[in-house]
Amino acid sequence: MTAPVVRVAGLRHVYPDGHVGLDRVDLTVAVGERVAILGPNGAGKTTLMLSLNGVLTPTQGSVAIGETTLSRHTVREIRRRVGLVFQDPDDQLFMPTVAQDVAFGPANFGVTGPELTARVADALAVVSMTEHADRSPAHLSLGQRRRAALATVLACHPEVLVLDEPSANLDPLARRELAETLSGLRATILVVTHDLPYAAQLCTRAVILDAGRVVADGATSEILGDADLLAAHRLELPWGFSVSR
């Protein structure tokens, strides 16, 4: 068996005000796996997401990507290998054009010349945004901006892709287009979401966090098919939606 690409062990994060964001979380993710991170508001989902590439420093425990353990000496390498796509694409789009935004990340990691040009072109093609390369992000729809934000991360060639609420506020067409894009990616993917049908569509495994702890971990169909489990952690499927177990 290959080693996990993500290994989180005894991870604890306490915020300056004393609030415990994560409380001894253990999690391993295999190469190529797609995992939904579920839970109510305040469960620790975003804290976990930000801990995976060193935006937040663990109070206790460890995070490793492949054979590299996160530390102040390895944080730059970890951030290259773990790409975060935030819920608000405007947090990642700040250059005059989409192409410049997509080039910013790999250029920051030292990629230049023809390789940088190729990475930008490839990332835009993957998210079906080639024709918008020279447009201002401000003139794009939310769905287009979200795919452009995804391209900014894909251009860095991450091994692990972590998305925060990717389907939030998208219309049905944009939602489907993004799902098709994500389904075609080869990277290991973690999807932080309240959108349970989207989790079922994209991920074969689901993890529920509550009060900073992992309370369930299993096949997405089994997790979402357990109404009592969902109710106990303030999660609920939309009316009329059912999951085949």
Kindly report the average pLDDT of the chain as a whole number.
94
Question: pLDDT tens digits for 185-242?
Answer: 988 999 999 999 999 999 999 999 999 999 999 999 999 999 999 999 999 998 877 7
Q: Is a pLDDT exceeding 70 seen at residue 245?
A: no
Separation between Cα atoms, residue 232 and residue 181, nearest integer Å: 33
Which DSSP letter does residue 52 get?
Answer: T
Pairwise CA distance, residues 177 & 136, whole Å = 20
d(CA 13, CA 22): 5
pLDDT at 244: 62
- Whole-number Å distance between alpha carbons of 164 and 192: 5
Angle between helices 142-154 and 113-126 (to 10 degrees): 140
Q: Can you list the domains of the chain with their CATH numbers?
A: 6-232 (3.40.50.300)
Backbone angles phi, psi at 24, to 5 degrees: 60, 55
Provide the percentage of residues in the chain whose pLDDT is more than 90: 93
pLDDT at position 1: 47
**In the predicted model, what is the mean pLDDT of residues 100-104?**
97
